[in-house]
Amino acid sequence: MKYTIVCDESSTNKKHLIIGALIISRNNHLLLVEELKALKESLQLKWQGEVKWAKVSKTYLEKYKKLVAWFFEHLKANHFQFRAHVIDTYKKEYRKYGDGDKEHSFYKVFFHLLFQSVKRLAIEEDGSNVLILLDDKKNRYPFRLDVLKKTLNASISRELKLKNVIATVEPRHSSGEHPEGFIQIVDVLIGAIGYVRNNFALEANASEAKKEMIHYIEKLLGAGLQYDTRAGAPFNIWTFDVEVALTKRKASTPRGNK
C-alpha cells in the first residue's frame, strides 16, 4: 500500500517544540482533500486561505470546531492516523543531540517521528512507498530534505529489510494557489498541543477561544492534551526524551568513534 504523511511543526521558539504527522492512505488522499475543500467552502473559508492555530478566535471558533469534528470522524473510521512528538528544547541535551546545531537537532527529531510512523504502517507489499510532505520552511542547510530521505531509507532498509520505501520528501505550501490542506489540520492540532504543553492556557491573558477549542478537542479525543498516549493509538502524543536518545546513540557507537 502507498501512504502520504503530511507534517508540520509548532512552538518552534518555545520551550516545548511540537512536531506532527498526519498519515493517510494514498488511495484516500484525493477523496479526503475534496471533502475537506467542500467543507471549507460550506463554512465560507476559502480553499486557498490558511486555517491555522494562530487564527483560532471568537470569529473563527465555531468554523474550526466543525473542521476538527470532521477530522475526528475520519480518525475513528481509520482514514487517518496522527502522531505528535513533544520535545523540550531548553534541555542542553537537545542541542547536543544535533552536535551543537539546533537545525540538525530539529531534523533528527523529525527523522525519529517519521521513522516510527513508517514502522507502524507494517508495509509488506512489493512496491509499497511513502510520500512525505513537509510544510515549506527555510533551512540554513539547503539539502536537509534530501538527507532526511536518504537517512530514512537507509534505516528502514537496515531494520525492516525494505528498500526505497520513502519515495520522496517534498515541501508543500499550506495556503495559496495549490495548498496542501491537511497541513492546516495538523497545524491546528499541534498548535493546541503546544498551547497546553507550554502552559499558555494557564496564563491570565490566555485566549478564551483557544481554551474552548482545546476543551473541544479533548472532548472528541477523550483525553487531555497534557498526557502522552500509548504508542499505537490512532491519535498519538509522545514526549521525546533526548537524554534517552543520546544514551542509546552512545551505547551503539563503537569505542573507537566516541
CATH assignment of the domain containing 234? 3.30.420.10
Query: What gap in Å lies between CA 19 and CA 41, rounded to an integer?
Result: 28
Domain span at residue 233? Answer: 2-245
Q: Is residue 250 part of a domain?
A: no
Q: Is residue 18 part of a domain?
A: yes
Query: CB of 225 within 8 A of CB of 73?
Result: no
Give which of 99, 28, 32, 43 is closest to 71, Cα–Cα. Answer: 32
Q: What is the 3-state secondary structure (H, E, C) of 92-154?
A: HHHHHHCCCCHHHHHHHHHHHHHHHHHHCCCCCCCCCEEEEEEECCCCCCCCHHHHHHHHHHH
Give Cα 250 to chain centroid, integer Å: 27
Q: Is residue 253 part of a domain?
A: no
| DSSP secondary structure of the chain | -EEEEEEEEE-TTSSEEEEEEEEEEHHHHHHHHHHHHHHHHHTT--TTS---GGG-STTTHHHHHHHHHHHHHHHHTTS-EEEEEEEETTSHHHHHHTTT-HHHHHHHHHHHHHHHHHHTT---STT-EEEEEEE----SSTTHHHHHHHHHHHHHHHHH---S-EEEEEEE-SSSSS--HHHHHHHHHHHHHHHHHTTGGGSTT--HHHHHHHHHHHHHHTS-TTS---TT-SEEEEE--HHHHHHHHHHHS-GGG-
Query: What pLDDT does 168 receive?
Result: 94
Query: What pLDDT does 257 receive?
Result: 47
Q: Is residue 214 part of a domain?
A: yes
Q: Is residue 179 part of a domain?
A: yes
Instruction: Please name the amino acid found at residue 33.
Output: V
Query: What pLDDT does 192 receive?
Result: 98
Count of domains forming the chain: 1
Q: Is residue 15 part of a domain?
A: yes
Query: CB of 213 within 8 A of CB of 66?
Result: no
Query: CB of 117 within 8 A of CB of 20?
Result: no
Average pLDDT per block of 10 residues along the chain, 258 residues long: 94 94 95 96 94 96 98 97 96 89 91 93 79 88 91 93 92 89 96 97 96 98 96 94 81 53
Query: What pLDDT does 254 receive?
Result: 52
Q: Is residue 254 part of a domain?
A: no
Query: What pLDDT does 37 receive?
Result: 95
pTM summary value: 0.93
Q: Is residue 255 part of a domain?
A: no
